[in-house]
Amino acid sequence: MDVSRTEVAARRRFKRGGAARLGLLALPVAFFAIFFAYPVAAIVGRGLKADGTWQFGRLVDVLTQSDIRHVLWFTTWQALASTALTLLIALPGAYVFARFDFPGKQVLRAVVTVPFVLPTVVVGTAFLALVGRGGLLDELWGVRLDTTVWAILFAHVFFNYAVVVRTVGGLWAQLDPRQEEAARMLGASRLTAWRTVTLPALAPAVAAAALMVFLFTFTSFGVVQILGGPTFSTLEVEIYRQTTEVFDLTTAAVLTMVQFMAVGAVLAVHAWTVRRRETALRLVDASVTARRPRGAGQRALLAGVLVTVAVLLLLPLAVLVQRSLDAPGFAYYRALTSDDGGTFLVPPIDAIGNSLSYAVVATAIAVLVGGLAAVALTRRDAGRFVRGFDALLMLPLGVSAVTVGFGFLIALDEPPLDLRASWILVPLAQALVGVPFVVRTMLPVLRAVDVRLREAAAVLGASPWRAWREVDLPMVRRALLVAAGFAFAVSLGEFGATVFIARPDNPTLPVAVARLLGRPGDLNYGQAMALSTILMVVCAVALLVLERLRTDRTGEF
């Protein structure tokens, strides 16, 4: 009888723990409602309201304009082309990282991830140094690709290469190779075995990676802003132009709604593919599937991937560094310490300290909000509201950051949320982008914790908080560190929202780079290259640290 009562009490404590997990959603829900939904709704309402009434007829007026239709068409087809090109170039790399073991593999894995966490402004700057006026290709062969769609497409491949390698390669490394070997023993050719066994298993991961690449390229801003010139404009760039140059909030609001609906559809399909990937496969330890390349074909494939990484990923970064060192005596770096009273109210070098300070605060916010959300979402039997909120957490990655930033200025200007003059506004905007990475990193690890361990802790009298501290936390500590590292890196690189709310006396690194590129003169160009190099080095160091912390369960997107 005593044992029965103990078990009943333990089950009650365990159920209370589940209710407590749902209660943990209160802070994440409030955070997203106040700092995401409210600013976006405010900017949309400002554009579509006149004399207190909604003017939905403006939707048709805007969408029937020929220049707006051209923007919508270019945004869509360049995203599709970028996605196809990224898959074509990156899938061989995913196979190599999944199935081959070679010296320097862990370092190279970190290197290919660096472009993904770089600010899009830095990506655009790196390709500008490679293919723009006075760039490497211009000096060697007189070839310029800036202001062409090819520069945009290859810059998108540069940025998203790691998404495919880590998403598809992470699953590929855990697929049991004996299934394909069994098909070969039954007479299937290598191609047939791969097409009938491996490809169907990889399809959810390939689809998830393709959708994420499409999402990032569909909402591309910094890359198109720098490399596209006045000729090409995505939805995000057009929203920025309509907001800051034309001051047409109606058009900006309509385009924001179009982008919001498109992103929502992409994220819904992405969530479905992720669920398929989580439930449809039986995986093995990734450490037993990789081996040294054997035969001329495998060595040639490895060499081809290494050459691709060197040319597509390392060369733009190397040219960026070289351009920052063009002037003798590190002149561009020394110029960062001077205040010319022009672009900034402070020396550009101050942007480094500002960015680091903002990123630390943003990381703390993202880890707190994202960590609570991940713990609450751990239960697979959660209701529709919880599952829906899981999908909503990804929206800040796709909804116009320009709209969020401008919405901050419009919505958060009255007590008790009059934050326009406060420094906390920048970390809050950066944390919005960091939270999805925290959730996506921690959630698979938390769901992998055996529920029987929590039940055993409850039987022994542990409260829900103590059970989480003693059972869950030791197992997810490394994932928590990885999540914090990703949040820090993406916070450093946030540009779309920060460009609106960073004050001239407290610029961030991406904002400083963009402003320097917007001014004529070799000195300003060189300083932009120097700041971009510094930011790249900081991101690379962060990624190398993350790679040392990475596990098979925490290292994928």
All residues at 6 or more sequence positions from 426 whose CB lies less than 8 Å from its CB, including other chains: 358, 362, 498, 501, 502, 506, 508
Which amino acid type is present at position 389?
F
Q: Are 424 and 364 in contact (CB under 8 A)?
A: no
What's 70's domain CATH number? 1.10.3720.10
Neighbours of 169 (CB within 10 A): 28
Q: What is the pLDDT of residues 392-421, one digit of tens each?
A: 777 787 677 777 888 888 888 777 777 877
Name the pTM for this structure: 0.78
Query: Cα–Cα distance between 520 and 490 in angstroms, integer?
Result: 29
Query: Cα–Cα distance between 28 and 157 in angstroms, integer?
Result: 33
Residue 317 in any domain: the answer is yes
H/E run at residue 50: strand 49-50
Residue 154 in any domain: the answer is yes
Can you say whether residue 521 is alpha, beta or left, with left for phi > 0 and alpha for psi between -120 and 50 degrees?
left
Residue 528 in any domain: the answer is no
Q: What is the pLDDT of residues 215-240, one digit of tens each?
A: 889 988 888 888 887 778 888 888 88
Residue 132 in any domain: the answer is yes
Q: Are 156 and 86 in contact (CB under 8 A)?
A: yes
Maximum C-alpha span of the chain: 88
Structure tokens at 405: 């930033």
The burial class, CB within 10 Å (0-12 / 13-18 / 19+), for 277 is buried
Structure tokens at 277: 């990937």
Taking alpha carbons only, the member of 234, 207, 240 closest to residue 76 is: 234
Query: Cα–Cα distance between 97 and 169 in angstroms, integer?
Result: 6
Strand partners, 53: 50
The beta-carbon contacts of 460-463 under 8 Å, at least 24 apart in sequence, are: 462/13, 463/13
pLDDT at 388: 66
pLDDT at 450: 61
Residue 494 in any domain: the answer is no
pLDDT at 557: 46
Domain span at residue 254?
Answer: 65-323
Residue 101 in any domain: the answer is yes
Structure tokens at 539: 């991101």
User: Hey, is 146 helix, strand or coil?
Assistant: coil
Q: Are 497 and 429 in contact (CB under 8 A)?
A: yes
Query: Cα–Cα distance between 535 and 222 in angstroms, integer?
Result: 15
All residues at 6 or more sequence positions from 310 whose CB lies less than 8 Å from its CB, including other chains: none
Taking alpha carbons only, the member of 525, 457, 454, 482 closest to residue 128 is: 525
SS3 content of the chain, % helix, strand, coil (to 5): 75, 0, 25
Domains in the chain, number: 1
Query: In the chain, which stretches have pLDDT less than 70?
Result: 1-23, 49-56, 176, 180-181, 184, 188, 271, 273-290, 339-345, 379-388, 390-391, 398, 448-455, 457-475, 546-557
Q: What is the pLDDT of residues 72-82, one digit of tens each?
A: 999 999 999 99
Query: 145 to each of 133, 137, 138, 152, 154, how far by Cα in Å?
Result: 9, 9, 9, 9, 10
Strand partners, 50: 53
Residue 95 in any domain: the answer is yes
Residue 301 in any domain: the answer is yes
Q: Are 342 and 519 in contact (CB under 8 A)?
A: yes
